[in-house]
Amino acid sequence: MIQSTFTRRDFLVKSALGTAALLTAPYFTVNVRGAGTDKPIRIAVEFNSHAVPAYVAIEKGFYKEEGLSYTTYASYVTGVSLAAGLTRGDVDVAYICLIPAINAYANAGVPIKVLCGTHLYGYGLAVNPEKIQSIEDLEKPGIRIGTLREGTATDTLMHRVMEQHDLNKQTILSKVRRMNPPKSIFALRTGQLDAVFLPDHWLTMTERDGFSVKLTARDVWPNMIGSVLLAREELIQANPDIANKLVKATKKATVWMNENPAASAELAARYLSFEGRNTPLADVLEKESELTVSSASIARSMKNLEYINSIDTEQFQHTIDNAVRLGNIKKPFSADMMLDLQFLRQV
């Protein structure tokens, strides 16, 4: 009998190296050029409402105001993760969930620095209300639970929920089906899931299929850092002015969207509906209209997030230490090793 020693962290190391998806949501890349540079800066964002600051920075011209000329972006289908793209060197700058960024830094040694925050929270649990009335009902026989791969923010949230509600992890994890957000939507639509942990906007998308949002990260993890803006160290060292301008553009976008939530939701709905046509979800829906994400749905989604640029260094350290505790990274490290907040302090 061959005994496997393939650990949870081994999976995450291979994921960060690109042999599997660390972050399974599709993303798009935005190419911008800094003033006086010929090489485009490759900016990647996740395909969800976490990326609204990037959408706003494009639409309101905040990149251009900072001398970063926007050229084009291209959609990616699931199977290529943002964290793996950073590892391969395909991406220079990313608006990315903090937790997989920590995994990529710690497990694959990706030379990245966090420049500022983009939002708190952004994840939650949606359930079939006919089968699940309380969190404890997740332990009931026959309940099928979906979430993303190990080491993702939704997986981490699921562990936090199990711990806070004193659920039996062995019982819960035996029911979990790992899949990306588009496949999760298809699975619940076809009656294959009873509960699902998802990032927003996918979380609120479940509502039109009869699911209800049972809890969000805000309910179980106060001040949870959702996503951050980060860059590869070589870009920061070679072009600190570009890093500074990216932070400024992101700050302008964040201020604008907080002052104009309805307009931001409408803008984001256009981007997410357009990009949705290039996700695996497009292959399983019968009507093109089902790909449209309403501004009302995005507005509800955005309320689950708190869009801010400051970074709570203690919370950052807690997130690192929690990743060690769950076995997602091998050993702890100081948050200062991954932070470069000099540009944020200047805006």
H helices, E strands: number in the chain: 16, 12
Together in a domain, 203 and 279: no
Together in a domain, 116 and 139: no
The tally of domains found in the chain comes to 2
Owning domain of residue 33: 8-121+223-346
* Model pLDDT, residue 30: 56
* Cα-based angle 119, 46, 77 (whole degrees, multiple of 5): 165
pLDDT tens-digit readout, 152-209: 999 999 999 999 999 999 999 999 999 988 889 999 999 999 999 999 999 999 999 9
Q: Which of 203, 220, 237 is the last residue of a domain?
A: 220
Together in a domain, 16 and 113: yes
Together in a domain, 299 and 338: yes
Q: Which of 194, 220, 246 is the last residue of a domain?
A: 220
pLDDT tens-digit readout, 200-255: 999 999 999 999 999 999 999 999 999 999 999 999 999 999 999 999 999 999 99
Together in a domain, 14 and 117: yes
Alpha helices in the chain (DSSP H): 8-16, 52-59, 62-65, 82-88, 98-108, 153-164, 169-173, 181-189, 202-205, 217-220, 233-238, 240-259, 261-276, 295-303, 313-325, 342-346
Together in a domain, 38 and 184: no
* Model pLDDT, residue 269: 92
- Residue 50 dihedral angles phi and psi, to the nearest 5°: -65, -25
Residue 1 in any domain: the answer is: no
Together in a domain, 101 and 132: no
Together in a domain, 238 and 215: no
197 neighbors 146 (Cβ within 8 angstroms): yes
Together in a domain, 227 and 333: yes
Other Cβ atoms within 10 Å of 109 Cβ, number: 11
155 neighbors 148 (Cβ within 8 angstroms): yes
Residue 237 in any domain: the answer is: yes
Residue 290 in any domain: the answer is: yes
For 90, half-sphere exposure in the C-beta direction (CA atoms, 13 angstrom radius) is 19
Residue 2 in any domain: the answer is: no
* Dihedral of the alpha carbons of 158, 183, 191, 167, in degrees to the nearest 10: -10
Q: Which of 220, 245, 268 is the last residue of a domain?
A: 220
Question: What pairing do the DSSP bridges indicate for beta strands 145-147 and 195-199?
Answer: parallel
Residue 337 in any domain: the answer is: yes
Together in a domain, 20 and 131: no
Residue 3 in any domain: the answer is: no
CATH of the domain at 166: 3.40.190.10
Together in a domain, 303 and 339: yes
Together in a domain, 209 and 235: no
Residue 279 in any domain: the answer is: yes
pLDDT means per 10 residues in the chain (347 residues)? Answer: 36 35 40 64 85 92 86 38 72 90 93 98 98 98 95 96 98 95 91 96 94 98 97 94 96 98 95 61 48 88 97 98 96 97 95
Residues of the chain with pLDDT > 70, as a percent, come to: 80
